[in-house]
Amino acid sequence: MTDHASCSTVLSAPKIAIIGGGLTGLLTATLLECASNQTGSSSNTPQITIFEKSRSVGRLATRYRSDSETGKNWQWSFGAQFFTAKTAVFQQFIAPWLDTGLLQPWCAEVIELTASSDNYQSPNIQSKEQWDVVHARYISTPKMTSWGRELAAALKHTTIVFKTRVAPLAQYLQSQHQIQNQTHNQTFNQNSKQTELFDETGASLGWFDWVICTAPNGQAIELMSDSGFAQQDKITKPQMQACYTLMLGWDDVQKLPETLNGQLAPQWDVAYLNSAVLDRIFIEHQKPARDELLPSVTIHARNDWSETHVDDDIESVKEQLLQAAKQALNWNEASAPSQTDCHRWRYAATIVNKDTEELGILIDETKQWIVSGDWCAKGNIESSYRMAQQTVKAVMQTQ
Ligand SMILES: Cc1cc2nc3c(=O)[nH]c(=O)nc-3n(C[C@H](O)[C@H](O)[C@H](O)COP(=O)(O)OP(=O)(O)OC[C@H]3O[C@@H](n4cnc5c(N)ncnc54)[C@H](O)[C@@H]3O)c2cc1C
């Protein structure tokens, strides 16, 4: 791990719970461990527990499917496609994984695509730009999840508990207050500043000096509501929008429509769409270190369209997206995809208002609770790193 600015202060052995094992949670644990390593004393080593309700690492998501005949895979990064590293400190942080090749720049050819108004004409394709190594977009290889898994595996003083949903903090504050009269128990202990967390079945997950919530905005609102969190009013400020993702696969490159096989236009990797429904198309099998894949294409719908349709039946959404994709990519019966799948992200993107100040992490110093996540900044992976830095600074200031 590189030596960077956020590793420069000292910790003294707190018990820390992190709710959420997405990149914000993993980066927070990584930077906390990094900070404690600098003390050189094992008595100061924080005991970190990450509670993650699913079985994998957050919105960095990869889906794959195997062809039973060839054994080859289709693969779709159906959450984040890539990330940027605009600051020197984040560039320095990712450098070790760039050296090993786990992270790689994606120098994609980007086009702008406007579908034809009838179904039989080719779309209008205009070359837009090539992403370069100076303003690089990075991907994780061989899968988008690989970096998250690597970060998790490198953690030495952190336990990750998957398939465990932390219950809203208020639920047990209230029930414990009732019991308190009889037993003097309480969920938040004012004197020691410790908090007891519970899972959704009511089982105790332990007592912690710090609770750091990294759930997406909507879930953070539920987790913290009525808990007495000092910054509750601010959690509702950022708005998050949904995103539907369409995943398409073809059995062979020969079966791709002309729009994808390089015959109609120069080979491209990413398309920005002029469409009321679709936002971007990403060609997965042309990314670095994805040569072995069967032709796989991921399409993100527009956030505003997705938000309007967020509670619709997923099959009907899939049909509408397939229709829009067919129009954009102009496939016929012979060149139609053999694999189709659709995923709904209820909390996908933070609406960023350039005129308003960034929220930053929300801290309740009395309770030692922090609410963090990519949505506290610009809603991307680089924001996750910055929010992790802010969290580590806040925790260390009290040590
Ligand atoms: C469709 C899509 C496209 C995107 N594209 C890009 C992109 O191109 N570039 C980019 O930089 N970023 C992109 N992003 C954003 C990027 O994925 C996130 O910024 C990044 O993954 C970090 O997220 P996070 O850790 O803050 O949140 P998450 O990854 O959502 O992690 C939070 C975790 O908290 C868990 N959780 C929630 N409630 C509880 C609970 N009660 N108990 C236990 N666990 C809980 C969730 O299961 C989740 O795993 C995209 C996201 C989506 C959905």
pLDDT of residue 4: 39
Residue 354 has pLDDT above 80, yes or no: no
Substitution site in 18, 59, 63, 270 for ligand 1 pocket (most atoms within 8 Å of beta carbon): 59
Measured CA angle at 362 (ends 361, 364), to 5 deg: 140
pTM metric for this prediction? 0.91
DSSP per position, 91-141? HHHHHHHHHHTSEEE---EEEEEE--SSTTSPPEEEEEEE--STT-EEEES
Q: What are phi and psi of 148, to 5 degrees?
A: -60, -45
Stretch 77-97: mean pLDDT:
95
The answer to whether 104 and 98 are in contact (CB under 8 A) is yes
Closest-lying ligand 1 atom to the alpha carbon of residue 83: 11
Rounded to whole angstroms, how far apart are CA atoms 322 and 310? 17
How far is Cα of residue 318 from the mean position of the Cα atoms in its chain? Answer: 22
* Residue ranges in the chain assigned as alpha helix (H): 23-37, 88-100, 146-154, 169-183, 217-224, 232-235, 303-308, 314-329, 381-397
Q: Specify which residues 212 forms β-bridges with.
A: 18, 370
Task: Determine the 3-state secondary structure of 72 from DSSP.
Answer: coil
The answer to whether 228 and 369 are in contact (CB under 8 A) is no
pLDDT band at 64 (very low <50, low <70, confident <90, very high): confident
- In terms of pLDDT, which residue wins out, 229 or 354? 229
Lowest-confidence region among 114-118, 162-166, 211-215? 114-118
Pocket of ligand 1 (CB under 6 A): 19-25, 51-54, 58-60, 79-83, 165-166, 214-216, 219, 223, 243, 245, 300, 345, 348, 373-374, 379-381, 384
Task: Determine the 3-state secondary structure of 19 from DSSP.
Answer: strand
The answer to whether 378 and 219 are in contact (CB under 8 A) is no
- CA 382 / ligand 1 centre spacing (Å): 12
* Chain position carrying tokens 């997406």: 216
Residue 42 has pLDDT above 90, yes or no: no
Stretch 209-228: mean pLDDT:
94
pLDDT band at 360 (very low <50, low <70, confident <90, very high): very high
DSSP per position, 206-271? EEESEEEE-S-HHHHHHHHTTTT-TTHHHHTSS-EEEEEEEEEE-S-GGGS-TTTTTSSSS--SEE
Could you give the dihedral angle defined by the CA atoms of residues 8, 9, 15 and 17, in that order, rounded to the nearest 10 degrees?
Answer: -50
Amino acid, res. 303: N
User: With pLDDT > 90 as the criterion, what percentage of the chain qualifies?
Assistant: 71
pLDDT of residue 219: 92
Rounded to whole angstroms, how far apart are CA atoms 101 and 103? 5
Amino acid, res. 191: N
Stretch 237-261: mean pLDDT:
94
Closest-lying ligand 1 atom to the alpha carbon of residue 165: 42
Task: Determine the 3-state secondary structure of 399 from DSSP.
Answer: coil
- CA 380 / ligand 1 centre spacing (Å): 9
The answer to whether 29 and 64 are in contact (CB under 8 A) is no
CA-based diameter of the chain, in Å?
A: 77
pLDDT of residue 182: 40
Stretch 128-156: mean pLDDT:
92
pLDDT band at 385 (very low <50, low <70, confident <90, very high): very high
Rounded to whole angstroms, how far apart are CA atoms 153 and 151? 6
- CA 83 / ligand 1 centre spacing (Å): 13
pLDDT band at 208 (very low <50, low <70, confident <90, very high): very high
281-330 confidence digits (pLDDT tens):
999 999 999 989 999 999 999 999 999 999 999 999 999 999 999 999 99
